[in-house]
Amino acid sequence: MPAASSRSARSATGGSSARSATGGSSARSATGDALLRLAAPIVFGIVALGLWQLAVGAADARTPSPFGIGARFGAQFGAIWSASIGTATNALIGLVVGTLVAVVWALLCANARWLEELGNPLVTALSVVPLVSLAPVFYAMFDSSLQTGRIIVAAIAAFVPVFFNTLRGLRTVLPIHRDLMRAYAATGWQAARTVTLPGALPFFFTGIRIASSITVISALVAEYFGGPVTGIGNAITTAVSSSDYALAWAYVLGAILTGLVFYVVTYVLEVLATRHRTTE
């Protein structure tokens, strides 16, 4: 009996050691994969910038080097910041307005199929219309000295992805969950609050993340077609017309950073809003 107990103890100890080793190996593998995913785009970006720097040595002045763009970005940071704030403000207002309209319309369509069929032609038209063609129209409709046209363009750009994703999320509730709510005699609001809306939240934030970048692009492009002399798009046009291509690329860099800020902020909001779902 003592020998059997000793063998059992050694077997248990060996099993726990094997599990610990396996767990440690899996943790190291996950850490290595995370580091690889982080390092790969950084290395690729450095290599691409290095090749760009080498390639522009034989190019003309219309192709500035990354170092030249960086120097102009630092020297004109105040102007780039001001232009970025102008574009970001229009994009943010358009994102908020477009999101609110999209969510309300998705809620209505989710509860009334006939309403969705009624509005489908308009929503489809908005999803395919070239937004750049709307900017001059809105400048003519509203005062061209106001930002109204740019905000409307950004709002339309945000509406489409948020609406389609939110509507899809509202309709992904499993039948068993609906039956469970009926069994508990839950009201419509209780069912929506406990099942429908939480289930649609990931889809909603997917639409927000898509719209966050599109609104920045739309607001920027709308600035090329008139309106107030503010924003990154107008600044790029002015720099190109003055043959200051390094400055134009510096403004492009400002536009890229603005879009990244919008995307990162919406991603952080998504993580904060859905973290309880991942921990369950």
Query: What does the domain layout of the chain look like in residue ranges?
Result: 72-279
Rounded percentage of the chain residues whose pLDDT exceeds 90: 28
First to last CA, the chain: 45
Question: Where is average pLDDT lowest: 91-105, 116-130, 147-161?
Answer: 116-130
Would you say residue 206 has pLDDT above 60?
yes
Question: Where is average pLDDT lowest: 14-18, 85-89, 138-142?
Answer: 14-18
Would you say residue 218 has pLDDT above 50?
yes
Mean pLDDT confidence for 184-209:
69
- Over residues 62-71, the pLDDT tens digits come to 678 888 888 8
Would you say residue 250 has pLDDT above 80?
yes
Instruction: Name the residue with higher pLDDT: 133 or 83.
Output: 83
Instruction: Supply the pLDDT for residue 117.
Output: 82
Is the domain spanning 72-279 CATH 1.10.3720.10? The answer is yes
Instruction: Supply the pLDDT for residue 63.
Output: 77
How many Cα atoms within 13 Å fall on the side-chain side of residue 143? 3
- Over residues 103-117, the pLDDT tens digits come to 999 888 887 888 878
Greatest mean pLDDT range, 59-68, 166-175, 199-208: 199-208
Instruction: Supply the pLDDT for residue 236.
Output: 92
Residue 279 — very low, low, confident or very high, per pLDDT cuts 50/70/90? very low
Residue 242 — very low, low, confident or very high, per pLDDT cuts 50/70/90? confident
Mean pLDDT of the chain, nearest integer? 79
Whole-number Cα distances in Å, 101 to 40, 87, 95, 137, 210: 39, 21, 10, 21, 16
- DSSP per residue over the chain, as a string? -HHHHHHHHHHHHHHHHHHHHHHHHHHHHHHHHHHHHHHHHHHHHHHHHHHHHHHGGGS-TTS--HHHHHHHHHHTHHHHHHHHHHHHHHHHHHHHHHHHHHHHHHHHHHH-HHHHHHHHHHHHHHHHS-HHHHHHHHHHHS-TTSSHHHHHHHHHHHHHHHHHHHHHHHT---HHHHHHHHHTT--HHHHIIIIIHHHHHHHHHHHHHHHHHHHHHHHHHHGGGSSSS-SHHHHHHHHHHTT-HHHHHHHHHHHHHHHHHHHHHHHHHHHHHHHHHHH-
Residue 96 — very low, low, confident or very high, per pLDDT cuts 50/70/90? very high
Instruction: Supply the pLDDT for residue 99.
Output: 94
Instruction: Supply the pLDDT for residue 195.
Output: 60
Instruction: Supply the pLDDT for residue 182.
Output: 59
